[in-house]
Structure 1
Amino acid sequence: METCTATGEHERLSAWFAAATSSPAASMAAWRITPHIPRRLSIGITFDVVLAERSLVELTYEILRRYEQTLGPAIHFTNLTTVAVLVPPGTAVRWSGLIANSTWSDHKALPICISRGQAIRIPGISPAASGVLVEWLQAPSTDSAIGGAPLLTSPVPLVRCLTEARSLLAPDDERSPLNRAVSAVRAVIRSPQRM
């Protein structure tokens, strides 16, 4: 039977995060003593990270939910407008090709994917109520973890949904006639039915 920490996080999930540190055993011990402290993890070991604007990621996750796709952990940096989406390791190698194959129109707002040589802070097991610099936009799910590892957002549906979200968020003058038509149809579908 799997043991849990006092706050309910599964030890195996915590061990998965600890694998992205230089000393997993020492990290696990420190996290048990100070579960509210954010964790500093190396990127590219157990996950890569896609960085994008918060509004874009929020809409993307809504679209992914609608398409019944896996929603992996995503971190919001409270002092920035950026969100970090955890994706499978190796995604950074394929990212430019995935984006190039999409219909991404605005290259200055292009989401980027980072990997080895970078680090990220993630929320602690039980983050402090105030003064938190990182918080979960989408917390890792222990219910859908496989072998202690949380399911991560798949890069191909992520790019497709990021592109769709971007087209929906773009001002009307920046959208193509096709994108405007798709948005109009979606608005009608979402509106309450009138009798």
Structure 2
Amino acid sequence: MRESDAVSAWLVQAAAEPADQWHKRPRLPRLLRCGITFDLVLTDTAAFRTAAALLEQYEQPVGPALTLPAIGKAAILVPQGIADKWPALIASLAWPPEAQRPLCLGQGHTIQIPGLAARGGVSLSRWVVPPEATGPYPPLLTSAGALARCLMEARSPANELNRGPNSPTGYRR
């Protein structure tokens, strides 16, 4: 996959390291700071896959998202500034106190992303939904409110996507 100029410019804003080598080495991972152009929601990979299927079912866009296989988590990019509002958003959904809550990371946190031209092999993270830009505009990010509701719904045993042979085995866009 070739990285568009709009995606590169958007990623460079959050670069935690010099980004002048990105086009020379598009396969290398990159370290990005949260809270600059995006915040990051961390949740279980299985919950993300179900939530992503629900978002598509509800015709809500699913923006850039990664899996972190070593820890069984997914990282979903949401608009910058959501980290401050996330605890109240989750509380408004009456999230069960005993259930593990998805976290939202903002300023002061970083994430290593794979290069957009990365080949297979060992990586700390893998794009499930790579960032894509339309024209000169930055990538569309997942709505935090819709994501939180779908993550809550994904937890429900009554959710038809969690039952039987039609249970999603992986999110495919």
- 1:109 Cα offset (Å): 1.2
Overall identity of the aligned pairs, in %: 35
Q: Distance in 2 between matches of 1:38 and 1:123?
A: 4
Alignment of 1:30-69 (within 5 A): 30-69=21-60
Structure number with higher helix proportion: 1
Residue 9 of structure 1 aligns with an amino acid whose one-letter code is E
Q: Which residue of 1 aligns with 2:11?
A: 17
Q: Distance in 2 between matches of 1:79 and 1:15?
A: 29
Alignment of 1:84-123 (within 5 A): 84-123=75-114
Q: Distance in 2 between matches of 1:50 and 1:187?
A: 25
SS of match in other structure, 1:79: helix
CA RMSD of aligned residues (A): 2.2
User: Structure 2 length as normaliser, TM-score?
Assistant: 0.86
- 1:133 Cα offset (Å): 1.8
- For the 8 Å contact 1:40–1:122, the answer to whether it is kept is yes
Q: Distance in 2 between matches of 1:98 and 1:147?
A: 31
Q: Which residue of 2 aligns with 1:76?
A: 67
Distance 1:128 1:159, change over 3 A: same
Gaps in structure 1 of 5+ consecutive residues:
1-6, 169-179, 191-195
Q: Summarize deviations over 1:54-73 as a string: whole Å, max 9, x none.
A: 00001000000000001111
| Equivalent pairs, count | 165
Gaps in structure 2 of 5+ consecutive residues:
167-173
- For the 8 Å contact 1:74–1:136, the answer to whether it is kept is yes
- 1:161 Cα offset (Å): 0.4
Q: Summarize deviations over 1:74-127 as a string: whole Å, max 9, x none.
A: 111121201111000010111011000103225441001010011001110211
- For the 8 Å contact 1:50–1:113, the answer to whether it is kept is yes
Residue 147 of structure 2 aligns with an amino acid whose one-letter code is L
- For the 8 Å contact 1:103–1:163, the answer to whether it is kept is no
Residue 155 of structure 2 aligns with an amino acid whose one-letter code is R
Distance 1:34 1:79, change over 3 A: same
Q: Which residue of 2 aligns with 1:3?
A: none
Q: Distance in 2 between matches of 1:105 and 1:158?
A: 17
- Identify the match of residue 166 of structure 1 among 143, 155, 169: 155
User: Structure 1 length as normaliser, TM-score?
Assistant: 0.77
Compare CA radii of gyration and give the structure with the larger one.
1
Q: Distance in 1 between matches of 2:67 and 2:160?
A: 27
Select the structure with the greater relative contact order (CA < 8 A; seq sep ≥ 6).
Answer: 2
Q: Distance in 2 between matches of 1:127 and 1:119?
A: 19
